[in-house]
Amino acid sequence: MIAVGCAKGFKHFTCLPRGREEVLISVYNHDCVQDPSQPEYTDYLLGCYARYQRPYVWLRSNFSAKTKTFGQDVGNFESPLKLVSTKSKTTSERYRFIDDKQTNMIVSVPRVFEVIIELVRRNSQSYILNPFEIDFALLQTVSPFERVLLSAALIDFLKLIYVTPGSTCSNEVSNDLQGLIGVHFAAIKQILPTLPVHSSTLRPAMDLTPASSPVQSNLSAVQM
């Protein structure tokens, strides 16, 4: 959850962390271009609470427009959305498995990024191939130092999606992952010449001449 909340720079959604267990996800409404009455974003609360051991999603805005999208009464703030990605499955590799201490059974828990994929795709009438598409133009608007930090967080997050077996979006994120690596190292080259060099970090040249011990000095005096 922390990795999701700290990653900034996606084209189709933004995240705002609300502690360790909650993230507010604002998904861009692509259909608002054709329908001016639609708000620019739809807000969802994604919660991964330890007591439930699985993520749940609540709609937090644009209720009337999303009633048909999810096929339920989304006006009830207390009821989480019925999503395919939040249902338990026993064989899908897209889900991580945990040991349920109460039932002594191995149960499957959906991964957070699979939930985001469903939210982004169901939020638009047109199919979005890569829900985690990076807004590279946005990354160029921040300072090189900020760009290093943002690109590192995004690389770490996309790498998790790319290496997860059975992920429905691993191939789609590969191109953006390579592009982010290029942006990251380009930004590092920009900030390296500007970093201050502190004298405390400079070590003096090491004297390799063996120091004479008091015993050796006494022996030399006796020989003389």
Q: Average pLDDT for residues 84-112, to the nearest whole number?
A: 51
Q: Average pLDDT for residues 71-94, to the nearest whole number?
A: 66
Name the helix (H) or strand (E) containing 198: none
Q: Average pLDDT for residues 130-154, to the nearest whole number?
A: 94
Mind listing the pLDDT tens digit for each residue in 122-141? 888 888 999 999 999 999 99
Q: Average pLDDT for residues 38-54, to the nearest whole number?
A: 84
> 115, 145, 142: which is closest to 131 by C-alpha?
115
Confidence of residue 203 (pLDDT cuts 50, 70, 90): low
Query: Using CA atoms, how far apart are residues 153 and 6, in angstroms rounded to an integer?
Result: 7
**How far apart, in Å, are the Cα atoms of 109 and each of 55, 87, 165, 188?**
8, 8, 15, 38
Contact 6, 17 (CB under 8 A): yes
Contact 13, 5 (CB under 8 A): no
- For residue 55, how many other CB atoms are within 10 A of its CB? 23
Confidence of residue 68 (pLDDT cuts 50, 70, 90): low
Predicted pLDDT of residue 136: 96
Q: Average pLDDT for residues 135-155, to the nearest whole number?
A: 94
Q: Is the pLDDT of residue 86 over 70?
A: yes
> 16, 90, 105: which is closest to 60 by C-alpha?
16
Q: Is the pLDDT of residue 88 over 70?
A: no
> What b-and-e string marks burial along 15-50, b requiring 16 or more CB atoms within 10 Å of the CB?
beeeeebbbebbbbbbebeeeeeeeebbbbbbbbee
Predicted pLDDT of residue 222: 40
Q: Is the pLDDT of residue 99 over 60?
A: no
**How far apart, in Å, are the Cα atoms of 196 and each of 70, 186, 192, 200, 201?**
54, 19, 9, 12, 11
Confidence of residue 104 (pLDDT cuts 50, 70, 90): very low
Query: Using CA atoms, how far apart are residues 120 and 42, in angstroms rounded to an integer?
Result: 10
Q: Determine what percent of the chain is predicted with pLDDT higher than 90.
A: 31
What one-letter code names the amino acid at 88? Answer: S
